[in-house]
Chain A
């Protein structure tokens, strides 16, 4: 009896080990090795081409603080991400409430609202690029609206908003579905009894809907904040970071430094800095949501 049990357990152990070996190998290859070598190279002046690199300590990190291009990107990206978060949170909640209402054609509207999520950011960025640079100026000339006769993307003051609009256009889809899923977890009895108690629409919204949605909204917040801070595709195809670096995102900066200017060590130092910011944000979010669970 004891023998048999041991045999079965051994079989279980072996199967489980076989199950996890690919995960461990690929994880180490894709996540750990690049991260560790990355952090190591950020302490050197490696160009990415030369075989040898000199150890220069924290020099790359110190240079970050005096790098105007980095500061410009950080500044642009931070307010870009914050605006994106605010707009997406408000609009996705509004749209989710709309497609959660008992209306005709609900399935159609849900399908339409989610559709942008299945398209590639690249395609959307390029289509809007064409619209901004060709369609709108032509139309503005016909209608004699001076402001839009020059492409929105070619002015430093308006280019970020041009990209932001596209990001909202596409970035709303998934949050809307997530919030919709959140809305459906609210028990109908609660809303009905509040209605009977004479709570108005606004009161029901702030006292029932919002508290129930908070977990979903915090997920949306973190997803959108990250998407905003790491925006790459849109800027790459719509403005290439221009005009005059007004839309050069942090990720574009890293890409340019690493692959065009061949300053690998410095590029990784910058990436590490961005990661620390992102990890900090994620960590903050986790502690906040975990606190909520205690209540």
Chain B
């Protein structure tokens, strides 16, 4: 028993260093955000003398922040909603018809190709196409995010459905249930773990995405997401580090709050579906 404990000391040391390295930049952005510019000039590392809220007030009084927060929230949630409605169903059809019908099999491999085509090769023409389809706005980027998630989602869902025996569905069909009914009542509940995995991955991607947002939404302040808000804000106030750090803190707060409460589910969700794939 005693030996066990001493064997763990290097583990604690490594983890302590890791935690220190992870929290240091976050801690620094927090303390800088609560300082006046003058205080910050005197020392970057010192703890603030008082809780100065002027930086927060300055940013929150600009309309950009709440507008971007709303946009990020709106875009992320509607994209996820679209993904839940569309992709498990499509994967279900493909997974169950692959054996019977060649077209579905080819379709599966055709869609899988998308995983291997990097974004960069499509980036330039995609922006042109999206512009001409009128998708360079908040509603349009939702369509693009949903479309962008299709290949990976189908890949993960189909792999998961293949591990579920079709007995239950066949029993339901013999009982006269429609396919839609079978899907909603039997298949969807069984797919919950993998749906959680895919949605968590996609949520992190969309909420934090910079590239597609920069390409599609940087034309109007009304379209900005939180990432664009920070990016543009930094250019405007590049001379005032306390304000900039405050904008980063404000951008991180929503994620931090969600993470604080859902941490276990996020890590567990990623792990459970991740192994099976």
Q: Which residues of A contact B (CB under 8 A)?
A: 8, 11-12, 15-17, 19-20, 22-24, 26-27, 29-31, 33-35, 37-39, 41, 48, 94-95, 98-99, 101-103, 107, 109-124, 126-128, 130-131, 134-135, 138-139, 169, 174, 177-178, 180-182, 184-185, 226, 230, 232-233, 236-237, 250-251, 254-255, 258-259, 264, 267-268, 271-272, 274-275, 278-279, 282-283
Contacts and interface: CB of A to CB of B under 8 A. Distances in A.
Nearest to A176: B18
Which range contains the number of B residues in contact with the other chain? Answer: 35 or more
Interface string B225-265: 01100110010000001001100100110010011000110
B248 A181 contact: no
Contacts of B146: 26
B22 A169 contact: yes
B166 interface: no
B267 interface: yes
A116 B24 CA distance: 12
A225 to B, nearest CB: 12
A113 B124 CA distance: 36
Interface of B: 4, 8, 11-12, 14-15, 18-19, 21-23, 25-26, 28-29, 32, 43-45, 86-87, 89-90, 92-94, 96-97, 104, 107, 110-111, 113-114, 116-129, 133, 143-144, 146-148, 150-151, 154, 173, 178-180, 183, 204, 207-211, 215, 226-227, 230-231, 234, 241, 244-245, 248, 251-252, 255, 258-259, 263-264, 266-267, 270-271, 274-275
A126 B244 contact: yes
Contacts of A278: 116, 118
B104 to A, nearest CB: 8
Contact of A268 (B12, B110, B121): B121
User: Counting chain A CB atoms within 10 Å of each CB, which of B146, B147, B178 scores highest?
Assistant: B147
B14 A29 contact: no
A20 B104 CA distance: 9
A250 B212 CA distance: 17
Contacts, number: 247
Contact of B271 (A181, A226, A264): A181
B25 A124 contact: yes
Nearest to B204: A118
21 contacts: A16-B97, A26-B150, A27-B151, A31-B147, A34-B123, A35-B121, A38-B124, A98-B15, A109-B15, A118-B208, A119-B255, A126-B244, A130-B32, A138-B43, A169-B25, A232-B211, A236-B210, A237-B234, A255-B123, A268-B121, A271-B124
Nearest to A278: B118
User: Counting chain A CB atoms within 10 Å of each CB, which of B120, B211, B274 scores highest?
Assistant: B120
A272 B124 CA distance: 11
A279 to B, nearest CB: 5
Nearest to A105: B15
A34 B22 contact: no
Nearest to B4: A102
Contacts of A268: 121, 124-125
B107 A230 contact: no
A30 B90 contact: no
